[in-house]
Amino acid sequence: MQGQTIYFKNKPKIISAAAIAGPKECEGVLREYVDCALSDDMFGEKTFERAERKMLLYAVNTCIEKAGFTPKKIDAFISGDLLNQIISASFTAREIGIPFLGIYSACSTMSEGYLLGAALTDGGFARNVVAATGSHFSSAERQYRYPLEQGTTRPPQSQWTVTGAGGAVISSEGKGPAITSATIGRVIDYGVSDVNNMGAAMAPAAADTILAHLRDTGRSPDYYDLIITGDLGALGSRLVKDLVWERGADISANHVDCGEIVYKVIEDEFQGGSGAGCSAVVMNSYIYDKMTRGGGIRKVLFAATGALLSTVSSGQGETIPCISHAVSIENWGEED
């Protein structure tokens, strides 16, 4: 470990990736990249929670299939989600029967999953690991905010939880983009307490981790084709660029935020996508495709952010602690 950064000497590969997304999410660029574009966000289920779980199971099974494996070939399933007690991940693990490691990092769960999956395979502990997560707009609204039926007005700083799930098979063998290093985030809290302004709360954590990564590796931002954040939204994306700039690095030329890509963002209305599913879907469909099928993207730094609050902590007057884990993913021309 150098600073906050660990290196994967054996360069574990992301040998397959899969994603599924809801109707609103598939109105934009994602539609042609996801494995399943839902026409109904209930996915044939009776509750939002069951629909969320079914999407996660779909993403897990699909990335395993695309790797040419059966679940028996997978040594560990690493997952978590936004619902209390990560029930989407746990119930999915019950269905597939793979040894399960539960994680929680709010909307940065995908990057923590990549990180731990890479560590387990690189360290020789496992051959094939699945890392996956997802979220559902309606289950998140019900748990974190207001009943949908109430029709509460959303302030313009708010974001929209992505309905979708994504997952990847990380393997010690095979072809695909390699996870070459990862920077474990510290918890950063600039004192933001507005739960409708997650972009502002999370941007400092993203900046802290991106800067730590650049410092630890001695790289400049232009080492990467893209520096990808998870769900800062339009406002948060401006903030992270400013915060990094203030501390001497310029990511304005190659920064992209998954939350900004997902929807057509009209900033007077809302700031873009959020939720654990946001970067999970974008990374495991659009970005993975651009890295493996001639899209010209070879090196990305993926720094998803998570807001580590709960309704209880907010209700008790606490500010919002945030975290960002960064994963360096590089492909050296081994394209499909």
Alpha-carbon span 284 to 240, nearest angstrom: 23
Shortest reach from residue 201's CB to a copy of itself, in Å: 12
Q: Which is nearer to a copy of itself, 105 or 331 (CB)?
A: 105
Shortest reach from residue 178's CB to a copy of itself, in Å: 16
Closest by CA position to 125, among listed 172, 78, 68: 172
Q: Which is nearer to a copy of itself, 53 or 238 (CB)?
A: 53
CA 64 to chain CA centroid, Å, is: 19
Q: Which is nearer to a copy of itself, 74 or 262 (CB)?
A: 74
Q: How far is the CA of 239 from the CAs of 46, 127, 199, 235, in angstroms? A: 40, 39, 8, 6
Shortest reach from residue 247's CB to a copy of itself, in Å: 17
Q: Which two tokens stand for residue 35?
A: 């494995």
Residues linked to residue 165 through DSSP beta bridges, in sequence order: 20, 134
Q: Which is nearer to a copy of itself, 14 or 309 (CB)?
A: 309
Shortest reach from residue 184's CB to a copy of itself, in Å: 4
Q: Which is nearer to a copy of itself, 60 or 291 (CB)?
A: 60
Alpha-carbon span 294 to 13, nearest angstrom: 17
Q: Which is nearer to a copy of itself, 254 or 313 (CB)?
A: 313
Binding residues for a copy of itself, rule: CB under 8 A, are 1, 4, 6, 47, 49-50, 75-76, 80, 83-87, 90-91, 93-94, 97-106, 112, 115-116, 119-120, 122-127, 143, 184-189, 308-313, 316, 318, 321, 323, 325
Are the CB atoms for 208 and 244 separated by under 8 Å? no
Are the CB atoms for 159 and 267 separated by under 8 Å? no
Largest CA distance in the chain: 52
Alpha-carbon span 211 to 217, nearest angstrom: 10
- Residue that has been written with the tokens 């915060």 in this structure: 243
Are the CB atoms for 265 and 316 separated by under 8 Å? no
Shortest reach from residue 188's CB to a copy of itself, in Å: 8
Shortest reach from residue 85's CB to a copy of itself, in Å: 4
